[in-house]
Amino acid sequence: MKLMKLFTHQMNISGGGGFTQDLVISSKDIPGLKVGDVVEIYHPEDEYSRLLIQVTSLKEELQHRDALSLDQAVASTFQLRALLQVYVKAINPSDISLDLVELTFKDQYVGRSEMWRLNQNLIVFRSASSMVYLFIQMSSEMWNFDVFGDLYFERAVDGFLGDLFTRWKKEGCNHEVTIVLFSRTYYEAASIDAFPSEMRSKVTADFRGRFYEDYYRVLVHNERSDDWHKMLTQLRIAFNSYPEEVLEASHKKYGQQNVPKAYNSSASHGNFLEVLNMSLNVFEKHYMDRSLDRTGQLSVVLTPGVGIFEVSRELTSITKQRIIDCGIGSDLVCVGEQPLHAVPLLRFQNKDMLDTDDYNIPHWLNLSFYTTNKKLGYSNFVPRLRLPVSPSTKDNVRLMKSQSERIHPGCETGSLNQLFDYDAYDAQVFTLPTQVQRQNFKPVTRKESRNTSVPPEVNPEQKKSIPTRPVGLVDYLSTSHAPTLFQPRKEFGKNYDSDDTPGSRTVIGSEGSPLERQLAYRPKSRPGRALINPFDPSRVPVKHTSGRRRWIHIYPRQPDGTTLDLGFKVALDSESYKKLADYRVQLRSTKVADEPFSPALTTGVDWKSLTTPACLPITTDYFPDSASLQKDYVVSDYTISPDDVNVDDYNRKGSRRPLETSQVYREFISQRLAQGFQLIVLPALSKSSARHISVREKSADSIKKVVNPSSSFIRSLSHVDPPTKESLLSIGRIFHKITLLGSAITVTGYKPRHPYDGRKFSYIYNLRTPYIKYYQCLRTDFYTEKLQHFNWNHMDHYICTGGSPDYALTESSKYWRLRMCFLPLDYSKRFRQDPPSPSSNEDRTFDGFTKFLENTVNRMRHSSKKKIHSPLERTMSTIQKGEKTTRTRVHSVRGRVEKSSFRPEGRNSPSLDLESSTSSDSLYQEKPSSEPPKKITADSPLSEVADILKCSLPFLEKFEDLLPPTTFLSYEAIHYLVEDHGLSRACAGELLQKLLSEGYIIHASGSKTVLHFVPGFHLYCFSKISSPARGKEEAIGTGMAGDYPAFEEEFVEVNYDRYFENDLCQLINCFKADDEEILIDASKKYRNDLHKLSVFKEAYIDVDVTGRSDRKEWGHLLYPSYFTPNASFVAVLKWVEATGVVIFDLVLGWVRKAQINGFLLVPMPMDPLFIGNSGRCDPFRAPLTIPMNVKVIEECLEKFPASHWLHRLWLLHDAVARRFSYIPSIFENTRRFQVQYVHATGYSFLVMPIAPEKDSTVSISNRLSYFSKVGSSNADSNFGSSDYGLPLIEKNGLRMPCGFLWVANYLLTKKWKVSQTKESQIVDENAHSKCFQDLTRFCQDETFLRDFFRL
In this predicted model, what pLDDT tens digit does every residue of 976-988 receive, in sequence order? 999 889 899 999 9
Closest among 684, 552, 690, 689 to 620, alpha carbons compared: 552
Amino acid at 957: E
Assess contact for 874 and 885: CB atoms under 8 A. Answer: no
Q: What is the dihedral of CA 139, 143, 148, 154, to 10 degrees?
A: 80
In angstroms, what CA-CA distances link 1324 with 836, 1313, 1329, 1330, 1337? 19, 10, 10, 10, 20
Q: Mean pLDDT by 10-residue block, N- to C-terminus, for the chain (1351 residues)?
A: 90 64 87 88 84 88 87 89 91 79 91 86 88 96 89 93 95 94 95 91 90 95 92 94 91 85 94 95 91 93 94 91 91 91 83 63 90 68 64 47 48 46 60 44 36 38 36 32 32 35 34 36 41 60 81 74 49 38 38 50 88 93 89 94 80 72 94 94 52 39 41 41 79 94 93 84 92 87 90 94 90 93 78 52 88 92 54 38 37 35 35 34 39 78 90 83 87 92 91 92 89 93 61 52 86 87 67 71 74 86 88 93 89 94 93 92 84 67 87 84 79 86 79 73 84 40 32 32 63 78 84 58 62 88 83 52
853: exposed, middle or buried (Cβ count in 10 Å: 0-12, 13-18, 19+): buried
Q: With left for phi above 0 and alpha for psi between -120 and 50, is residue 561 left, alpha or beta?
A: left
**Angle of helix 970-981 relative to helix 985-997, nearest 10 degrees?**
130
C-beta neighbour count of 1043 within 10 angstroms? 18
Residues 6+ apart with CB under 8 A from 512: 355, 356, 357, 518, 521
User: CA neighbours within 13 Å on the CB side: how many for 150?
Assistant: 18
**Angle of helix 970-981 relative to helix 842-852, nearest 10 degrees?**
140
Please tell me the distance from the alpha carbon of residue 1028 to that of residue 12, in angstroms, as a whole number.
70
Assess contact for 402 and 487: CB atoms under 8 A. Answer: no
Sort strands 1184-1187 and 1122-1123 into parallel, antiparallel or unpaired.
unpaired
| pLDDT of amino acid 254 | 85
Q: With left for phi above 0 and alpha for psi between -120 and 50, is residue 1193 left, alpha or beta?
A: alpha
| pLDDT of amino acid 425 | 61
In angstroms, what CA-CA distances link 1271 with 683, 1247, 1259? 63, 20, 16
What are phi and psi for residue 240, nearest 5 degrees?
-70, -35
Assess contact for 331 and 300: CB atoms under 8 A. Answer: yes
C-beta neighbour count of 59 within 10 angstroms? 16
Assess contact for 1240 and 835: CB atoms under 8 A. Answer: no
Closest among 664, 674, 807, 676 to 1116, alpha carbons compared: 807
Please tell me the distance from the alpha carbon of residue 104 to that of residue 1073, in angstroms, as a whole number.
65
- Please confirm whether the linkage preceding 344 is cis (ω < 30° from 0): yes
SS (H, E, C) 439-485: CCCCCCCCCCCCCCCCCCCCCHHHHCCCCCCCHHHHHHHHHCCCCCC
| pLDDT of amino acid 931 | 58
> pTM of this prediction?
0.79
Q: What is the pLDDT of residues 618-656, one digit of tens each?
A: 999 899 988 888 899 999 999 999 988 887 765 666 667
Please tell me the distance from the alpha carbon of residue 989 to that of residue 993, in angstroms, as a whole number.
6
Q: How far does CA 49 lie from the centroid of its chain?
A: 37
Please tell me the distance from the alpha carbon of residue 809 to that of residue 813, in angstroms, as a whole number.
6
What are phi and psi for residue 690, nearest 5 degrees?
-60, -35
Closest among 567, 530, 526, 681 to 618, alpha carbons compared: 681
Please tell me the distance from the alpha carbon of residue 1300 to that of residue 1187, in angstroms, as a whole number.
6
User: CA neighbours within 13 Å on the CB side: how many for 736?
Assistant: 28
Closest among 728, 727, 702, 731 to 717, alpha carbons compared: 702
Please tell me the distance from the alpha carbon of residue 1333 to that of residue 686, in angstroms, as a whole number.
62
Residues 6+ apart with CB under 8 A from 418: none
Closest among 1050, 1090, 1077, 1346 to 1236, alpha carbons compared: 1090
SS (H, E, C) 1103-1167: CCCCCCCCCCCCEEEEEECEECCCCCEEEEEEECCCCHHHHHHHHHHHHHHHHHCCEEEEEECCC
Amino acid at 714: I
**Angle of helix 1205-1219 relative to helix 1190-1197, nearest 10 degrees?**
130
